[in-house]
Chains A and B, each alone.
Chain A
Amino acid sequence: MTAYLVRRLALAVPTVLGVVTLVFLLVHLIPGDPIDVMLGETAHVVDKARLRHQMGLDRPLPIQYGRYLRQLMRGDLGRSLHSRRPVRRLIVARYPATIELAGAALLVALLIAIPLGLVAAARPRSTADAVCRGVAVLGASMPNFWLGPLLILIFAIGLEWTPVSGRGSLAHLVLPALTLGLGMAAVMTRMLRATLLDRLGDDYIRTAYAKGAGAARVFLKHALRNAALPVVSVLGLQAGALLAGTIITETIFSWPGIGRLTLLAIQTRDYPLVQGCVLVVALSYVVVNLATDVLYGVLDPRLRKQP
């Protein structure tokens, strides 16, 4: 297991370096002079020169890159152009809210996907299966920037069951978590159903039945356990969608997380903050994928032996 872990970590190193490089280059993709874009063309020439020097944009590109890497090693993500506060501090203040929302969305997805997937696979081609599949396809087709306002309209404005926006109580979390989690639930339901149906045709399932095991035991203990592997991998892939989805969901519900901070940074052209947010979200995704790979290795011992 240790060798497997080391191998996975070694594979993640070039990916992380690539992510860091792309995020570094982001400012250099800005058409024209990035300082003009950030401060406006009418800004005083002294202010422009100061910012250019502060961001190191007056140095050759390789030197800027080396400096950026050194700063990152120290945990320095630069300084926000607008609040003048360190980007790291701004992100650290917002990160827990995003994790709270993403965690709740994941829980929502699992609570919906597991029962729906089980019901659909237990009675394939039945009415229950058709309903579960229909719900899943509908969920997958509903963009969260439309679902969010719809949920607000029904549950916050119409029924007054939840607050419209903000963070504070459990009630505040319900609608954003549903908005973010329903799409993921749809994908997982379809995956779980398909994998369970595949597994139910395997020889060991027939053996389990032949040995006298009941349907519930065969289904839950043998089939579900083996169907967990692909579902875990989808979970890892979907975590990326979840993290990126927070930008829209947090904007809709005024949730004070990194997603909303990213959009505010984009709108105010605060590029050091944009870079910091994008880097942190991308690295979080790399870590989640790494964790998924490790979990995959724990669940399936054959993978650990692969070169």
Chain B
Amino acid sequence: MKRLLADRQTAVGVVLVGLFVAVAVFAPALAPHSPSVQNLSEDLQAPSVEHPFGQDKLGRDILSRVIYGARVSLFVGGLVVAISATLGVAIGGLAGYAGGRTDELLMRGIDVLLAFPGILLAIALSAALGPSLGNVLLALCTIGWTGYARLVRGEVLAWREREFVEAAVALGGGPLRVVGQHILPQLLTPLAVQASFGMANAIVAEASLSFLGLGVQPPTPSWGAMINEGRSFLLFAPHVALFPGLAIMLTVLGLNFLGDGLRDILDVRQTDAFTPSPDGARAAAAPAA
């Protein structure tokens, strides 16, 4: 943690992410008003002392909706990362360790999913399944796990040639034990970096789906849907779209700073000259398609 905070940019990332996590957790205590109470006589009011971010077309307090919106964004981002990472580690570990036909088959399947631009597949799935929070999670996990699987497969291929892994196999260690106990701990660094960027991507993707009307449905506050709503009032009430957009940008900025910092600090090339494959960290830095 000390090393993370030593770099100014990473420290900003930690503070921003920590801030939004705190906002999401303590939303009921922090929000000055209810996010769903309407006040039609005060629609589209500009920011004031009573409503620092102004009011939307139904007179709802935008600050409170931005605060509650953090819950949706971080919940979706966190859950997508957790499910995608679990699936990706299992499938990538299996492909890398088993090799041969299993590897070939799994990798071709991943290639097909990666042949779709990520958000396009999520949009297509959400369109077919119908707009809801559960379907957003399903769509984002469907595209999310492939990155982790590729990363883990590459790392497992590199690590399984190492002497200590060969020794574990020679001592009778089964695949689960060898991968889980000996190889997986070596992958925590690239996985942490991938998770950081993955969460940023998931937050933007959720907001994109909500912006298109395919994500979280009203009256649940979602930053993407709030921006879409504010688009109609850009001329005379730009604050409606401005603040939720700022919230997304700062959250994603924080996660990107954190990811960059983690990669630099935990980069095995800098800390351990004997580690075989630093490609994982680099792969994680590659943008999600």
Contacts and interface: CB of A to CB of B under 8 A. Distances in A.
Interface in B235-257: 235, 238, 241-242, 244-245, 248-250, 252-253, 256-257
B212 A22 contact: no
A243 B120 contact: yes
Interface string B42-72: 0000000000000000000000000000000
B287 A18 contact: no
Most chain A C-beta atoms within 10 Å of own C-beta, residue among B120, B231, B250:
B120
A153 B120 contact: no
A237 B116 contact: no
Contacts of B248: 143, 146
Contacts of A146: 227, 241, 244-245, 248-249
Interface residues of A, number: 51
Interface stretch (B74-82, B91-99, B123-131): B123-131
A152 B231 CA distance: 10
A78 B251 CA distance: 43
Interface stretch (B152-160, B179-187, B203-211): B203-211
A130 B231 CA distance: 33
A278 B120 contact: yes
B166 to A, nearest CB: 25
B212 A143 contact: no
Given A30-B128, A141-B252, A240 B118 contact: yes
Contacts of A267: 213
A297 B125 CA distance: 34
- Determine the main DSSP class of B at the interface with A: helix
A135 interface: no
B227 A149 contact: yes
A29 B212 contact: no
A11 to B, nearest CB: 8
Contacts of A266: 123, 127, 212, 214
Contacts of B174: none
Interface of A: 14-16, 18-19, 21-23, 26-27, 29-31, 137-138, 140-143, 145-146, 149-150, 152-153, 157, 187, 234, 237-238, 240-241, 243-245, 247-248, 251-252, 262-263, 266-267, 271, 274, 278, 281-282, 285-286, 289
Interface of B: 108-109, 111-112, 115-121, 123-125, 127-130, 200, 204, 207-208, 211-214, 224, 227-228, 230-231, 234-235, 238, 241-242, 244-245, 248-250, 252-253, 256-257, 260, 286-289
10 contacts: A143-B208, A145-B228, A146-B227, A146-B248, A241-B287, A241-B289, A243-B117, A271-B128, A281-B117, A285-B117
